[in-house]
Amino acid sequence: MASTSGSGMYESQSTTKPPFFNGDNYSFWKNRMRLFIKSNDYLVWDVIEDGPYIPLKQDGEGKMVLKKKVEMSEEERRKIQVNDKALRMLFCSFGPDIYSKVSSIESAKEVWDTLETTYDGTNDVKETKIGILNLSYENFKMEPDETVSKMFDRFSTIVNGLKGFGEIMTSLFGSYSIHFPNHGMGREPPS
């Protein structure tokens, strides 16, 4: 778990433990968790995106039914286990409050989707957030008395917010321009 030192700086995150989530800063956790899972086992990420493997067979009436455990092959058991690995990675990243909200869910995809809806909102809420971020991006300009570093931080937050919602930006600056106010330096930046 990343923690703050007395200087207000964050300590680095372990590469062997999942990022901690206690309900705050979901976008930050989500992006780091996605990378953590993919870098450990891409099949685990596939289960989170697509749902668990469900071993089925055709019964005597031609209907698809769930196989019994004794009917499953070793390969089918391994495929089922990937969902459990995904659940373990997710559950190990949660604080007690988050864990208690999703601990009864048996599908890693359902856990992820529940978090998405709870912390990112419904599709309508997401569209509104994307609209606000797009507007911020389109109207981005340097604030008076703002350092280039602070401006870059604000800009990165907007761009990363859009990326977090799956917005693809083929050209970072596209047809937009960043406006630099004259800070009394005697000249305007080149356009």
48: helix, strand or coil = helix
| pLDDT at 10 exceeding the cut of 80 | no
For the record, the structure tokens of 123 come out as: 């599709």
Average pLDDT score over the chain:
82
Residues 136, 140, 145, 148: is their CA dihedral positive or negative? positive
> Does residue 102 have a pLDDT over 70?
yes
121 φψ region: left (φ > 0), alpha (ψ -120 to 50), beta (else): left
Give the contacts of 105 (CB within 8 A, at least 6 positions apart): 111, 114
Residue 90, judged by CB atoms within 10 A of its CB (0-12, 13-18, 19+), counts as: buried
The pTM of this model reads 0.65
pLDDT in tens, 41-76: 999 999 999 999 999 999 999 999 999 999 999 999
> How confident is the model at residue 178, as a pLDDT?
42
Residue 83 and residue 107: Cα distance in Å, rounded?
7
pLDDT at 7: 41
Q: What is the pLDDT of residue 25?
A: 85
The pLDDT of residue 180 is: 42
Average pLDDT over residues 89-101: 95
Q: Which structure tokens are listed for 76? A: 């089918």
Average pLDDT of span 100-127: 89
Mean pLDDT of 121-129: 76
Residue-level pLDDT at 11: 53
pLDDT surpassing 80 at residue 136: yes
Across-strand partners of 94?
Answer: 21
Mean pLDDT on 100-107: 95
pLDDT tens, 170-188?
A: 555 554 444 444 444 444 4
User: Where are the domains positioned within the chain?
Assistant: 13-120, 121-191
